[in-house]
Structure 1
Amino acid sequence: MNPLRAYDIHIVGLDTKRYEYDFTSDNTFFVALEQELIKAGNVQTHLVLEKSETMIRLEFHIVGEVEQICDRSLDEYNEPVDTQQTMLLKFGDHNEELSDEIELIERNTSTINVARYIFEFISLSLPMKRLHPRFRDEDDQEDDDQNGKLIYRSGETTNNDADDQTNIDPRWAALRKLSDN
């Protein structure tokens, strides 16, 4: 049996009101998706489905952790996941993805599978730079050091920079004469 069938929601018989679903995604979920980004993890998804005459609104709240490999040390570590996302499925004549948050689905669609949405939202919540937690403090300190340094300074001066005016590069002085005209 396909483990992703557990993520099917039959929408044919649903009334126009609010429904709530809970899903648990473990290692079998990530393996069944046949992708390379996440090999293992354990996340809980709370889904609120609101059906109306013209569309279905899906509100996801996903919490848990997924296994990642550090880009620096190649060590495995668990990355926490906590994200809230919304997806709109509008009824139409054909299936089409209109944007990241809006899709058209055929009016006669009987079942939607939310596994793909859960995986996409988990993937989007992960940081681009995968660093083991032991390296994150070092990386933050490096960023702070670089942010504290003055790397470039324009030729503009203020009254406080009177000492610096004597050390102006002659090329900047020539350009300043042009802009003063």
Structure 2
Amino acid sequence: MKELQKYTLSIGSLENKSYEFDFESGDAFFEAMEQELIQHGSFKTHLVLTKSSSMVQLNFHIQGTVELICDRSLDPFDEPVDIREQLFLKYADRAEELTDEIELILWDTQQINIARYLFDFIVLSLPMKKLHPRFRQDETEEDEEQEGKVVYRSDAAETGDESQEPPIDPRWDLLRKLNNN
């Protein structure tokens, strides 16, 4: 938790204007978050905090890399992150998350910790399919090839003669004679 304390901002004593903050984070940040998705990485965060009488606006710019494990080869690789996000903390009588971008905070809130926001922004920016860069070229080519592939073909399409009917099993022929009576 000591690592996460450097992400605590005292907003109670700030005047109503804009402030800029810079943070550098590494492996200790991800360890302190007590999660298993990301173990290694480093990133820099530039935060512009704009305080007014009714809300606090946070503009994040996060740049760096995180180490991921390839889903295909299980090889570790560095995934670049370059994120720009905006968050509004509005003063209210209760604390509640209204949307992804808007949260209500109590009027007497003196401090906010942005570590959770940073981690959430990074995780949400990661690709769902974690592929090592050497496989990404192959993957895009496969996707393009599969767009034109035929999923289902009949036997007539394989022989090239669509007007010719396939031979009828003699057992079905006998059943058709019964149906015609």
Same fold (TM over 0.5): yes
Q: Which has more radius of gyration?
A: 2
5+ long unaligned stretches in structure 1:
153-165, 168-181
Instruction: Provide the identity percentage.
Output: 55
Is 1:69 paired with 2:66?
no
Rounded to whole Å, the distance in 1 between the matches of 2:74 and 2:150 is 34
Cα distance in 1 between the residues matched to 2:59 and 2:35: 24
Map of 1:14-163 to 2, 5 A cutoff? 14-149=14-149, 151=151
SS at structure 2 position matched to 1:36 = coil
Q: 1:137-177, CA deviations, whole angstroms, 9 ceiling, x for partnerless residues? A: 1101000101233558xxxxxxxxxxxxx96xxxxxxxxxx
Matched letter for residue 69 of structure 1: I
Letter in 2 for 1:8: T
SS state at 1:81 partner: strand
- Show CA shifts across 1:79-111 (max 9, x none): 000010001000011111111111000011110
Distance in 1 (alpha carbons) for counterparts of 2:99 and 2:14: 25
Distance 1:105 1:47 in 2: 19
What letter corresponds to residue 47 of structure 1 in structure 2? L
Q: Indicate the RMSD between aligned Cα atoms, in angstroms.
A: 1.6
Provide TM-score, normalisation by structure 2: 0.82
Which ranges in structure 2 are unaligned for 5 or more consecutive residues? 153-161, 164-181
CA separation in 2, counterparts of 1:16 and 1:72? Answer: 50
Question: What TM-score do you get using the length of structure 1 for normalisation?
Answer: 0.82
Q: Distance in 1 between matches of 2:102 and 2:63?
A: 23
SS at match of 1:136: helix
Matched residues in 2 for 1:50 and 1:146: separation?
A: 49
- Cα distance in 1 between the residues matched to 2:148 and 2:59: 41
1:146 and 1:58 map into 2 onto residues whose CA distance is 43
Query: Runs in 1 of length 4+ with deviation above 2 angstroms?
Result: 148-152
Letter in 2 for 1:54: S
Counterpart secondary structure, 1:94: coil
2:131 aligned partner, one-letter code? L
- Partners of 2:84 and 2:11 lie apart in 1 by 22
How many Å separate the matches in 1 of 2:142 and 2:49?
44
